Amino acid sequence: MAEKGNKTQRINIIHNYVEDDLTTWINEFIFDRRSQNMATGTIYFYKSKLKLFTQYCSAQQISKIAQITPGTLRNYLLWLDDTGHNAGGKHAAYRAIKTFLLWYEYEEEPADWKNPIRKVKAPRQSQEPIEPVPIDTIAKMIATCAGTGFTSRRDKALLLFLLDTGTRASETNAINLIDMDLSNRSILIRKGKGSKPRMVFIGQRTWRTIRAYLKTRSDNCSALWVTDEQTRITYWGMNEILKRRSRLANVPKPTLHDFRRAFALNFLRNNPNEIYSLQRLMGHADLQVLRRYLAQTYDDIREAHQRGSPVDHSTL
């Protein structure tokens, strides 16, 4: 109740002093997202995307929401093109602006203002398959973790864990030791996307490497994945591990999300009838999001043709 009253008071202050100031309303939008207990990654997404938009607007001498027109938004999308943003980045920027403007419309109910986002369609996204990190690339990176010390065992365990679970980077570094069930090799993801919990699992080999890694630890940190300083590892820390191991293996550096894609594609190749299980393991609300993850690669199509070639399987 106090939170609601505080929010109402803040909105009244805006009405009295700053009217439709773009930056102020964006700050209120972020405050609203935080009050809904949205995930840290979600808050960061809105902050970063809307900051980019306000920087563009500032360069165009736009400081009020009423100054934003459909043309402003279309020119912004073209500007993103010109500054090297890919189709996915443009679509993400559009989604953030759309959510903000629809929120402002609902929150403020301006009488003489028409929401410009209603006249601007979302940019099309590429339908090309999203390529995962190849298994042989991961194998070469793991081969660089041959030592028996803390760093080698941790890095090997982390690489196998990312491939074996398909967890998001933010989910991975948030895992605590108490979230692991040793009896069935399951891990509780307490706060997935949308703050929804779920269970993921690891195979025997991954579990053995995690046990070997844990034996090298003597700290009291509650986190599963820790740094050399015995503190919870961050997104950037995990990224540095990938950078170091790919350099040592002399292979192109994959992203953390590439491992999630590799999990999805290889899981379904090994279990072609388990798409609903895959959906639950990855924490997707529906199958729509899986489409780009599971788009067949050219190798998949070639192998399928070899198995079903009408000529090769005939007596012609």
| In-domain check, residue 181 | yes
| Whether residue 263 sits in one domain with residue 291 | yes
| In-domain check, residue 129 | no
| In-domain check, residue 127 | no
CB count within 10 Å of CB 223 equals 17
The count of domains in the chain is 2
* Domain ranges, residue 89: 2-119
| Whether residue 108 sits in one domain with residue 31 | yes
Alpha helices (runs of H) in 166-234, residue ranges in sequence order: 169-173, 204-214
| Inter-helix orientation angle 256-270/235-249, to 10° | 70
| Whether residue 71 sits in one domain with residue 218 | no
Distance CA 253, CA 32 (A): 37
Mean pLDDT in the chain?
85
| Whether residue 79 sits in one domain with residue 175 | no
206 vs 13, 219, 270, CA distance in Å?
A: 55, 22, 17
| In-domain check, residue 179 | yes
pLDDT value for 126: 63
| In-domain check, residue 314 | no
| Whether residue 139 sits in one domain with residue 270 | yes
Contact 69, 116 (CB under 8 A): yes
Q: Two tokens at 122?
A: 């979302």
What are the pLDDT digits (tens) for 101-153?
999 999 988 888 999 999 999 988 765 656 678 899 999 999 999 989 999 99
| In-domain check, residue 156 | yes
| In-domain check, residue 126 | no
CATH code: domain of residue 236: 1.10.443.10
Distance CA 32, CA 108 (A): 13
| Whether residue 181 sits in one domain with residue 111 | no
| Whether residue 70 sits in one domain with residue 210 | no
Instruction: Band the pLDDT of 30: cuts 50, 70, 90.
Output: very high
| Whether residue 262 sits in one domain with residue 160 | yes
- DSSP codes of every residue in 6-43: HHHHHHHHHHHHTTTBHHHHHHHHHHHHHHTT--HHHH
